[in-house]
Structure formats: structure tokens, C-alpha cells
Amino acid sequence: MLKTAEVTTSIQTVTALPDREPLTAVCSGSAAQRIVVIGSGPVGMRFVQEVCKRLPRARIQLFGNEPFQPYNRVQLSALLAGEVGREDIDIPLPSSDLFPHFEFSIAAIRSIDVAAKTVTDAYGRVHGYDKLVIATGARAHVPNIPGVDQTGVYTFRNLKDTESLYTRVARSRHAVVVGGGLLGLEAARGLQQFGTGVTLVQQGPRLMNRQLDTRAGALLLEKVEALGIRVITDSGVREIFGQGRVTGVKTRAGESIDCDTVLLCAGIRPNVELALAARLVVATGIVVNNQLQTSHPDIYAIGECCEHQGKTYGLVNPGFEQAAVAATVLTGGEANYLGSQAVSRLKVVGQQVCSMGEVAELPVRRFQRELAHEDRGQDAYRKLVLLRNRVVGAVAFGEWPEMNRVQEAFQSGRRLYFWQRLLFRLTGRLWSNKDASSIAQWPGNAIVCQCNGISKGALIAAADAGATRVSELQSCTGAGTVCGSCRPLLSQLVSYQEPAQKEIGWTFALSACLAALSLVLLLVLMPEAQVASSVQADTWFESFWNDKYRKQVTGFSLLGLSVIGMLMSLRKRVRWAWLGQFAYWRLLHIGLGVVCALLLVFHTGFHLGSNLNHLLMLNFLAVLVLGASAGGIVALSHKLKPSNSRMVRKLTTWLHILVTWPLPALLAIHILSVYYF
């Protein structure tokens, strides 16, 4: 027989289910509605949490059909592998003190009476509702294989399955896992913990064939086989051998494999039986509209059991998004669910894997291209799929610090420019800044909150207007109030908007920058020094700018300090601890700028030169002005608006670097012209 439980488990004590009290207005508005939720999985619990957050006194009754407190199904593979404990996967129930009208019942719902607006549980009790939310999830798909009903054949979908497998693996010699998706891979790894031999059979051409392309699948295969797991692809299990108990399997290629355990991880099927019996519209899943309503306006469906615009999702994040939208609608808000982007960011056998959009079995289209970069030393592989230079798919094997921004580019259909494509081919990065994963580096029109279409620019404007906390940003803009997946980005933005700390030596830096700007003004505005008509009228200043020897001293000093200053600018890219804090190097760089400005006065005598010398002088002055401006902004950053100071600081710094580039060539031409001609 197909096993679902093999050991006795501790069952949470549940008191007898009380008869529902008559509907009374416990609070105003929609909180007085009786909301019944069928399904206590992660999606059902997320819906409850979202409603409680919006209406703490809402009347909610949650039904679960497993004899456990609600738990995180996503963590079952980690529980099987012994990486987390049983209590670590529990999802806390709402506190009865804070949410007095919430009730959790362990009782399977057997039927829905749409006309009477009631549900009947396994104990025969009838419960009325005003709004009903179906979050029944999905069950493991059991292929029609001869011998599948024998002892030793398991599914891996719930906590009972996990406990059964945990007990079984201690005495299992060899297990065959059917299915090379995420669940199959994690289950195969978990089965190894007691030295059980594992063979994984994948029907597709590669592991995780729906999420990974050929190269990423090959890299994952190497990692899995390095763990000691045998992998067979492009195959499947044709028959399970045994006389009531599993003794082996036969693959579609004709190979016989001896084993005593078979674990089926071959996909899922939505649980739609309740909806079918209630005569709701059902296709693959329970059909819902943009408000997650079924064909009956008072009944909603969310998670793996529902179908929206012809799609069902087997991932938890779309379910969370649906739960948030449904909670918003049921509590009187306005929200539309427009579908979820196919984005998977997973930890597979200890390796970071990410997939979004179209990455495999791509259609043939004009203006479509694929860009790939691989670094075997770092075990990193990245690929982008572009259509008319817009990101329509991406896959990564290994860490990719830019992933947040890549995901935003994918979700927004952002165009990549030719230099970004070139940079990606050469380095595997799309943005030159090492901090490209930070929201601070995103463009202003980048969408941060996908549910409500809130851009970074709108959030910055709200922050500048005084919204300095995540809760205030949410209240002002609505960002992060639906699914909540963008809240970490809001936290980043809030910290980015916090006033900067005073820079070390900011008063010296500001004074030095003002001194440098004053010297530049003197050079531009002061009349050119004239040669005295008599030796006796020669001034001390003329003895510097007009004396050949001293002119060489000031000139070569200026040259040397300029070179040192340019080399010091590389300090920011060098992160050796023994070099000390960067702030002190910045102060030294600013001080050198002031000395260079002073030497320029004594070297030129306020003469701006002509031809190439004039161009050199203008270049020097531009370097000094932009450098002093950037330094001044840094020194005053704690007194300015964070967004404004960072923008101006970045602009002046890059302009300072840009105008510095021609300086070495102009200096070389100047020296050559003086000594050669």
C-alpha cells in the first residue's frame, strides 16, 4: 500500500468544537463578517495574518485537516535532513489576547453548502460563514505505475510523510527517488543522512528542467553526484517490483535497480474536490478572477488549489501574493491580482539557484539573444535571455549579488544597453558598481512594489516629505501593504535615507575645499603678473613664477603631487585593512588638492597660458573645482538631505574623475614642448 504514515505522532490536544454563536457585530464594518478559511498551510496562515493585521478583531475560523499546529511545508526537506528541528517549522497562531475572535480547529471540511453559506466538518458540525476562503493546496501526484500500491512506496508532501520517511530511512538500504525537481533533490539529500544509497530518476533531460537551462542543469548534476547520489535522466520508472513490499524498480530504459524504498516526487495536483462538489467552476484548479473570487462572489480561493487566467502556481510566493490580495479585498480595500512572475530563488543541495521567466526550450524569435557568463573558479554560471534587449528570462547557478536588481529589470521589462551587455559577457555583471544589489543604485523609475506599482522615485519623494520609517512609507504610498515581499527593499531605502554620520575631519575637509575654490577664483579673476621693468623692482612673487629654476621646482612639484593624487584615488578600490581608514586618505587627498592649487598660483603667476597650455590650465582648474565640490559635499553630507547629497556627491565625483583623464596627456605634451622646443 502507498504509505502516508508509519509511526505514531504526538497530536495537539483540541477541545470539542463549540457551536458557533449567533452573528453579532463585534466591531464595525467588515470585521463583523464571519470569515472561514479552509486550509492551515503557509498560504492559509498568511491570509489569516494579513486579515488580523488589518482588522485585529476580525471573526476568523481556520480549519486544518492535519493533527498538528500549522507548519511551514517548505521546510519539510530541511526537517528530513535534520537541518532544523520539529518546532522550528511551526507557524505561530495569532495570540488570543490580541486577536480574541480568531479560532483554529483541527477538523477536515467535508462539504460546502453555497446556498446556505455553511461548511460541514468531519465531525458533522455545521459552521456558517459570510466569506469563505479555500486554501486547500495540492497533493502529491501518484503516477500510474504497476506496483505503486506496495509497502515501501512513499510520497513527500506533509509532516506525516516526513515522519514516516524519517523512520524508514534508518533501516533502508537503497532508495529510488522519482522526480528531479526541487522536492526530489532535497528529499534525496535528506535520505542520505543514515548512509542510505540513493538513486534519483528524472524523466526530463536534466535536473530541474523547468527552471534551469542545459548548462545550469549540468552544473547542478555535478554537485548532486558529488554528494554520492546517482542520477538517471531522460528516463522514468516503468514498474515497481515486489510481492507486497518493494524490492526494486525497472526504468524506462530497461535497467533494473534493487531498492527497498521508492519516494514519489513527481509533481502535484490541486485539491479541488470540495469546490467540484459545491459546483464552483473548476479547470485544472478552482477558477478565480482578479480579486481571487470563485464563480460564487462570497467564496475565494488562494494558493496551489486556484487557477488564475489559466495558470496554476506550484510555488509558495504566488500563494502569499494571492493571500495578501484576498485579505485586502475582504477587509474593504482595493487590490487586483494580475498574476505572479515565474521567479524561483532557491537553495538546492546547498547551492544557490535562481530562475525567472523564459530560460529553457526557448521559442525561435527575431531579436532574441542569449548572454552567458561562467566562472568555474567561483562555481558561478549566469545567463540572460533578451528580447529586443529587454530581459525576459534569467538563470543563475551560484551567488549573484545583483540578483535583486536583475529581478527588477525582468519584472519591469527594462532595456539593457550595449555596454551592459558587453560588461556582462566579460565579467558576469550588468552594473559596474559593486553595490548594484542595493536599492540605492536603482533608477528612479524602477518599480519596487510590484503589487501596487510604486516606483523608487515615489518612495524617495515620500521619504523626503518626512516618511522616515517603513510603516510610514507603507502608509503614505501603499508599498509593501499587499504581499509584503518588497519590505526588505523598503528597509534598505529607509536606511539609505537616514542622515549621514559626520565624516572624520569634516571641518578640515570643508575648510580645505573652500581654500582650494578661493585659489581657483584668484587664478581666474586676478590680473596676470607682469615682469618688472628693472631688476631692482623685482618682487618676491616674481622670483617664483618668472625664475627658471624656481619655476622648474614648482612645476615638477605640481607634477609629482598630481600623480600622487591620481594614484591615491585608487585607494577606494583597494580594501587592505593595513592601509587604515579611507576617510584619512580622503583628507590627505583634499590637502594635496589645496597644495596643488597653491603651487599652480606660484608656477603660473595668474597666467592662463595660450593654445595647449591654456587647455592644460583649464583642465587643471576643472579638476580642482570638481574635486573641491565633491569634497565639500562629503564634508556637509550630515547636514543635507540624504537623497540630494548622495546624488550631487556621485555626480561631482564622477565628473572629477572624468576631467582628470586628459590631465596626464596634457602634462606630457606641456613638458615635451618646454624641454624639446
Rounded CA gap, 87 and 75, in Å? Answer: 11
When pLDDT is cut at 50, 70 and 90, the band that residue 571 belongs to is low
Instruction: Give residue-wise pLDDT tens across range 417-472.
Output: 998 999 999 889 888 765 555 676 667 767 777 656 677 778 877 877 777 777 77
Structural domain contains residue 335:
no
Check residue 361 and give left, alpha or beta (phi > 0: left; psi -120 to 50: alpha): left
> pLDDT value at position 28?
39
- Percentage of the chain exceeding pLDDT 70: 87
- The CB density around residue 26, as the number of other CB atoms within 10 Å, is 13
Of 330, 350, 374, the last residue of a domain is 330
Amino acid at site 425 = R
Say what the pLDDT of residue 20 is: 34
CB burial of 333-353 (b: ≥16 within 10 Å; e: otherwise) equals eebebeebebbbebebbebbb
Which residues partner with 355 through β-bridges? 344, 395
- For 368, the enclosing helix (H) or strand (E) is strand 368-375
Q: What is the predicted pLDDT for the residue at 274?
A: 96
Q: Where residue 114 falls among pLDDT bands split at 50, 70, 90?
A: very high
580 pLDDT higher than 80 = no
Mean pLDDT value of segment 349-363: 85
Name the domain boundary from 447, 474, 498.
498
Lowest mean pLDDT: which of 316-330, 535-549, 602-616, 654-668? Answer: 535-549
Residue where the block lists cell 522519482 = 178
233 and 200 within one domain = yes
- Residue 219: pLDDT band (50, 70, 90) is very high
Contact 610, 528 (CB under 8 A): no
- Of 316, 276, 272, the closest CA to residue 73 belongs to 316
Side chain identity, residue 272? V
Give a yes or no: residue 526 inside a domain.
yes
pLDDT of 539 higher than 80: no
pLDDT at 12: 32
pLDDT band at residue 276 using 50, 70 and 90 as cut-offs: very high
pLDDT of residue 612: 83
For residue 480, what are the domain limits?
A: 438-498
Mark which of 419, 434, 449 sits at the end of a domain.
434
Residue 294: band (very low, low, confident or very high) from pLDDT cuts 50, 70, 90: very high
Per-residue CA distances from 266 to 97, 144, 293, 348, 583 (Å): 43, 11, 30, 17, 57
Q: Which three cell numbers stand for residue 601?
A: 598660483
Give the mean pLDDT of 383-393: 93
Same structural domain, 524 and 661: yes
Of the candidates 484, 666, 567, the one whose C-alpha atom is nearest the C-alpha of residue 50 is 484
Q: What is the CATH number of the domain that holds 324?
A: 3.50.50.60
Residue 452's domain is classified under what CATH number?
Answer: 1.10.10.1100
Q: Are strands 261-264 and 286-288 parallel, antiparallel or unpaired?
A: unpaired
**336 in any annotated domain:** no
* Cα-based distances in Å from 82 to 76, 77, 172, 468: 10, 9, 17, 42
For residue 19, the model assigns a pLDDT of: 36
For residue 194, is pLDDT > 80?
no
- Per DSSP, the three-state class of 416 is coil
Do 126 and 138 contact (CB within 8 A), yes or no?
no
284 vs 379: which has the higher pLDDT: 284
Q: What is the pLDDT of residue 18?
A: 35
Question: Do the domain assignments include residue 562?
Answer: yes
The percent of residues in the chain predicted with pLDDT above 90, rounded, is 38
CA angle, 119 then 123 then 125, to 5°: 45
- Amino acid 642: pLDDT: 64
Q: What is the mean pLDDT of residues 138-142?
A: 93
Q: What's the rounded Cα separation, in Å, for the pair 87 and 69?
A: 10
Residue 327 confidence (pLDDT) above 80: yes
Ramachandran quadrant class, 431 (left: phi over 0; alpha: psi -120 to 50; beta: rest) = beta
Rounded to two decimals, what is the model's pTM?
Answer: 0.67
Tell me the CB-side half-sphere exposure of residue 8, using CA atoms within 13 A.
Answer: 0
**Of the listed ranges 73-82, 232-241, 633-642, the one predicted with least confidence:** 633-642
Region of poorest pLDDT, from 138-152, 385-399, 505-519: 505-519
423 and 492 co-located in one domain: no
User: Residue 7 above 80 pLDDT?
Assistant: no
As a whole number, mean pLDDT of residues 253-273 equals 94
Annotate 112-150 with b (16+ C-beta within 10 A) or e (fewer): beeeebbbbbeeebebebebbbbbbbbbbeeeebebbeb
Q: Both 209 and 308 in a single domain?
A: no
Q: Per-residue pLDDT averaged across 144-163, rounded?
A: 92
Mean pLDDT in residue range 369-386? 90
More confident residue, 11 or 254: 254
Q: For 206-216, how does the pLDDT look when each residue is reduced to its tens digit (9 = 90+)? A: 999 888 999 99
Does residue 52 lie within any of the structural domains? yes
Residue 24: predicted pLDDT: 33
Measure CA 332 to chain center: 30
Q: Which of 276-280, 339-343, 575-579 has the lowest mean pLDDT?
A: 575-579
pLDDT of 4 reads 38
Mean pLDDT of the residues in the chain = 83
Residue 144 forms part of a structural domain: no
Res 537 pLDDT > 80: no
Percentage helix, strand, coil for the chain under 3-state DSSP, each rounded to 5? 40, 20, 40
**Is 143 part of a structural domain of the chain?**
no
Clarify whether residues 511 and 579 are in a common domain.
Answer: yes
Domain total of the chain: 5
Measured at the CA of 274, the angle between CA 270 and CA 277, to 5 degrees, comes to: 120
d(CA 31, CA 36) in angstroms, rounded, equals 13
Measured in residues, the chain has a length of 677
Contacts of residue 372, Cβ cutoff 8 Å, sequence gap at least 6: 215, 381, 382, 383, 384
Residues 9-58: pLDDT tens digits?
322 323 333 333 333 333 334 446 899 999 999 999 999 999 998 898 89
- Does residue 334 register a pLDDT over 70? yes
Q: What are the E-state strand segments in 252-319?
A: 256-258, 261-264, 268-270, 286-288, 299-301, 306-308
| Residue 364 binned pLDDT confidence (cut-offs 50, 70, 90) | confident
Higher per-residue pLDDT: 289 or 191 = 289
Residue 457 lies in a domain: yes
Domain shared by 211 and 94, yes or no:
no
What is the band of 575 on the pLDDT scale with cuts at 50, 70, 90? Answer: low
The stretch 285-310 carries a mean pLDDT of 96
Shared domain for 529 and 670, answered yes or no, is yes
Q: How confident is the model at residue 137 (pLDDT cuts 50, 70, 90)?
A: very high
| Residues 224, 395: Cα–Cα separation, whole Å | 18
Same-domain check for residues 651 and 520: yes
Q: Are residues 366 and 456 in the same domain?
A: no
* Whether residue 170 is found in the same domain as residue 99: no
Please say if the pLDDT value at position 386 is more than 80: yes
Residue type, 280: L
pLDDT of residue 13: 29
Residues 251 and 301 in one domain: no
- Please tell me the predicted confidence (pLDDT) of residue 265: 92
> Measured between alpha carbons, how far is 664 from 564 in angstroms, rounded to an integer?
12
Instruction: Kindly state whether residues 371 and 448 are assigned to the same domain.
Output: no
Tell me, what's the pLDDT at 481? 60
pLDDT at 567: 80
The pLDDT score that the predictor gives to residue 228 is 92
Q: Given this model, what pLDDT does residue 440 score?
A: 66
* pLDDT, average across residues 55-83: 89
Residue 557 Cα distances to 286, 319, 561, 563, 623, angstroms: 80, 68, 6, 10, 17
**Type of residue numbered 167:** T
* 3-state SS class at 58: coil
Tell me what pLDDT residue 664 has. Answer: 85
Start-to-end Cα distance in the chain: 100
